[in-house]
Structure 1
Amino acid sequence: MSETLSNFKEATLSIMSTRHSWTEFLSLSSLSLPSSLSETTTRIGINLTRFLFNYSSILLFILLLTLVYHPLAIILLLIAFSGWYFLFFSRDSSEPFLLFNLVSLDERVVVAALSVFSFVAIAVTGVWWNVVTAVVAAAAVVCLHGALRRTDEGGLDDYESPYGPMLSDGAGPYSAV
C-alpha cells in the first residue's frame, strides 16, 4: 500500500510539474492566425505536448458538464478514470506511451480490463451520446486553441516538427520547390 501511494505521489508530482498556468494558457497576446496548414499542424502538435494537462482538464470539464444529469455515470466514469490513472498512466515505465505496443502481458490485461470497465460503465448508464458530444466538443476546442496559439516562445527548442527535413533549408533529402 505504501508503494502504491508513493507511485501515485510521484506520478502526480510529475504531471503537476509539467503543467502550465491557466494565465499562460489563456493569454490573448499569444493568439494569431497560422500562415499555412503545416504551421497549423505544427502548432497543434507543440501545444498538445506543452498544454496536455490543460487540455485534459478541459475535456474532463466538458464531459462533466454533459453528464450533470447523470450522477451514476459520473461516479462510474470517475472510478474508470481513477483506474486508468492508478493502474496504467502512473506506472513506472521508461518506454514511450504507445497504447497498441504494450510490452508485457500484464499491461495488456490491465488495458483490456480497464477498457471493458469503461465501455460497460458507459453502456450501463446510457450516456454514449453525451460522451461522444463531449469528446467532439473538446477536440474542437483543443484544435482551435492549438492552431491559434503561437509557439514562438521559449522552451520549445526540443520539439521536432512532424514534417522533419521537408521544412529544412535544403540540407535534407528534400529540396525547395
Structure 2
Amino acid sequence: MTNYGSIPTSSHPSPPIDLEYISRAKHRIKAGLATRRPWKTMFDLQSMNLPHGFFDAISRIKTNLVYFRANYAVVVLLILFLSLLYHPTSLLVLAVLVVFWIFLYFLRDEPLVVFGHQIDDRTVMICLSVLTIGMLLFTHATANILGAVLTALVLVVIHAAVRRSDNLYLGEDAAAVTEASGLTSYP
C-alpha cells in the first residue's frame, strides 16, 4: 500500500539543536572577549609618543602588557595565522590550537583548576603560547613560525613602549595581578 502525498521520514531522527547550549556559548564568547580592551583605546593616536628614557619605556611596557594582554594575544595569533597561509598542515594545527586558546584563555569566566590547584591567567597564557609554538614547530614551518613570532613580539614591544600608560586605569583585579607579578614600577 502506498501513501501518496506523504513525506517520507527517516528511521533515525536527527538530534535536536540545543539552543540553550548555543546561547550559553554566544554569551561566553561575548563575556570572554570583554577582557579584551577596545581597539580604539589601544590605538589612540593622542596617547602615542616616545618615552622619555629607558626606565619610562620599561614602565610603559610593563603596564601596557598587563592592560592590553588579551589584545596582544590576538595580534600575535593573527600574525602567526597570516604567516601560515601557505602551510596548510600548520594552519590546521593552528586552527585546533586557536580553539584551545578560545576555551582555555578567552572564554573562561572561572579560574582554571587542575588537580585541585588554581592556575592564574598568566600561567595559562604562557603554557598555551609554548604549546602553540611547540606544536607548530613539529609541522616543519620553523622559519615562518619563528619569523612571525619575532615580528609579533617586536610589534607588541614597540606598541607597549610608545603607548602612554598614564591614562590607563587598571581595575582592581588587573592592579592586583600587576602588583602580585612584580610588574609594578616605583619611581
Q: Please, what TM-score do these two structures have when normalized by structure 1?
A: 0.67
Give aligned-pair identity as a percent.
27
Larger Cα Rg: Structure 1 or Structure 2?
2
Residue 129 of structure 1: how far off its partner (Å): 1.4
**Could you list the runs of 5+ residues in structure 2 that have no partner in the other structure?**
1-17, 113-117
Residue 32 of structure 1: how far off its partner (Å): 1.1
User: Could you give the per-residue CA deviations for residues 27-74 of structure 1, whole angstroms, max 9, x where no partner exists?
Assistant: 211111112222212211211122223212211221122111112211
**Could you list the runs of 5+ residues in structure 1 that have no partner in the other structure?**
101-110, 168-177
Mapped to 1, the partners of 2:77 and 2:46 lie a distance apart of 26
May I ask how many residue pairs the two structures share in their alignment?
A: 153
Counterpart residue number, 2:145: 131
Q: 1:69 to 1:8 in 2, by over 3 A?
A: same
Instruction: Report SS of the residue matched to 2:165.
Output: coil
Counterpart residue number, 2:67: 50
Q: 1:56 to 1:118 in 2, by over 3 A?
A: closer
Residue 99 of structure 1: how far off its partner (Å): 3.1
Mapped to 2, the partners of 1:59 and 1:30 lie a distance apart of 22
Q: 1:13 to 1:43 in 2, by over 3 A?
A: same
Does the 8 Å CA contact 2:47/2:164 hold for their aligned counterparts? yes
Residue 163 of structure 1: how far off its partner (Å): 6.9
Mapped to 1, the partners of 2:137 and 2:74 lie a distance apart of 20
Counterpart residue number, 1:93: 111
Q: Please, what TM-score do these two structures have when normalized by structure 2?
A: 0.64
Q: Give me the CA root mean square deviation.
A: 3.4
Mapped to 1, the partners of 2:64 and 2:151 lie a distance apart of 18
Q: 1:4 to 1:120 in 2, by over 3 A?
A: farther
1:5-44 → structure 2 map (5 Å cutoff): 11-44=28-61
Larger relative helix fraction: 1
State whether structure 2 residue 77 is matched by structure 1 residue 60: yes
Does the 8 Å CA contact 2:63/2:183 hold for their aligned counterparts? no
Instruction: Report SS of the residue matched to 1:18.
Output: coil
Residue 164 of structure 1: how far off its partner (Å): 5.3
